[in-house]
Amino acid sequence: KEITAVAEKDAELRRSAFKPNSPACKAIVDQVLKIIEKEDTKLPIPCIKAIGNLARTFGATDTRIIGPLVRLLDEGRPEVSREAAISLTKFVSTENYLRFDHSKAIISAGGAKHLVQLVYFGEQTVKISALVLLSYIALYVPDSEELARAGVLGVLEWASKQPNVTQDENIEALLQESKGWLELYQSRGSIQEDSKKNINRNS
């Protein structure tokens, strides 16, 4: 975990020591994923953090990384769900140039419904981590039908009224921006749907 933490901040180290296509890197990632997916292990959190630290080394096609982390959102242990959300956030934060692809991958893996549940019903520390991740995903993929079906806009509206959220200016700003994009795309979708209905009535 320590070397991955250094690599997260050192682009040169990431490029030299953690080339995604190198056999050594693949072997390490495979081993870490096995540990993450193994039940009753005592090592998931360090491994989850390690994957998150290397988020910027993975390509858009490395979807095998996203799925296990998304499943951990629904793992049951708050500390594990929180670390999974934090690591996934590193895949979709503004520092990651593949954030759009990773956001779509998280949605495809069923992440939206898990995050909605965590924001509503998770412990406080989990709520915030899940909300930040959900906000980033909504920001980058606001036209997602899955987000609309999961009621993400309603979640963000609810969260924006919670005092513990509005106290953090950065989270509040991210939340409002994401909410704005969702409102724009979902209202546009409603207008298009109404237009189709009118056309069908008149035809």
3-state SS assignment for residue 40: coil
**Tokens 């606001």 identify what position?**
142
**Nearby residues of 45 by Cβ (< 8 Å), 6 or more positions away:** 79, 80, 83
**Least trusted range by pLDDT, from 19-23, 52-56, 74-78, 198-202:** 198-202
User: Does residue 4 carry a pLDDT above 60?
Assistant: no
In contact, 48 and 36? CB cutoff 8 Å: yes
Q: How many CB atoms lie within 10 A of CB 86?
A: 18
pLDDT digits (tens, 9 = 90+) for 40-55: 566 678 888 888 888 8
Q: How confident is the model at residue 11 (pLDDT cuts 50, 70, 90)?
A: low
- Identify the pLDDT of residue 199: 43
Phi and psi at 106, nearest 5°, equal: -65, -40
How far is the C-alpha of 97 from the C-alpha of 34, rounded, in Å? 27
- Identify the pLDDT of residue 20: 58
- Identify the pLDDT of residue 136: 97
Q: Mark residue 123 as left, alpha or beta (left: phi above 0; alpha: psi -120 to 50; beta: remaining).
A: beta
- Tell me: domain 2-202, CATH 2.40.10.340, correct? no
Of residues 3 and 188, the one with the higher pLDDT is: 188
Per mean pLDDT, which of 13-17, 56-60, 116-120 is the most reliable?
Answer: 116-120
Of residues 38 and 160, the one with the higher pLDDT is: 160
Of residues 56 and 132, the one with the higher pLDDT is: 132
Largest CA distance in the chain: 65
| Rg (the chain; Cα; Å) | 18
User: Does residue 188 carry a pLDDT above 90?
Assistant: no
Locate 2 and state its tokens.
Answer: 């320590």
Give start and end residues of each alpha helix (H) in 38-123.
44-53, 63-72, 78-92, 99-108, 111-121
In contact, 115 and 85? CB cutoff 8 Å: yes
Write down the pTM of the prediction.
Answer: 0.81
User: Does residue 81 carry a pLDDT above 80?
Assistant: yes
**Least trusted range by pLDDT, from 10-19, 122-131, 168-177:** 10-19
Mean pLDDT across the chain, nearest whole number? 81
Q: How confident is the model at residue 155 (pLDDT cuts 50, 70, 90)?
A: very high
How far is the C-alpha of 20 from the C-alpha of 60, rounded, in Å? 11
